[in-house]
Amino acid sequence: MRNQVFVHLGNGAEFQFSVDDAMPMAPDVARAWLDAQFVSLDCEPLRASGKVLTVDKVLRVTEAAGPSLFADAEWAEAYARAVSAALGKPMVRVDVPAMAITY
């Protein structure tokens, strides 16, 4: 079975990734990857309380990455695998302009 990750960045920038079960990423490894990207991309928490949920990390990392990082095939593959594993859903849509994730 293949999982799908769809990314909408706005201004016509959209990406679609298939995540093959042959190359799974463990959920804890996926969360660690997202944590590292959140820090390296200098992302800010969405909530005033400072609490950062996994979906918030996905939104902020996606927003900060922009089209330039998604053009890097290696980074984009790791992103899709991490999002799929961290959220544990077969289909994920990340919509940056709406700041929403749907399953």
pLDDT at 67: 96
- The Cβ of residue 83 has, within 10 Å, a number of other Cβ atoms equal to 28
pLDDT at 48: 79
**pLDDT above 80 (res 29):** yes
Mean pLDDT computed over every residue of the chain: 93
Confidence category of residue 22, pLDDT binned at 50, 70, 90: low
**pLDDT above 70 (res 91):** yes
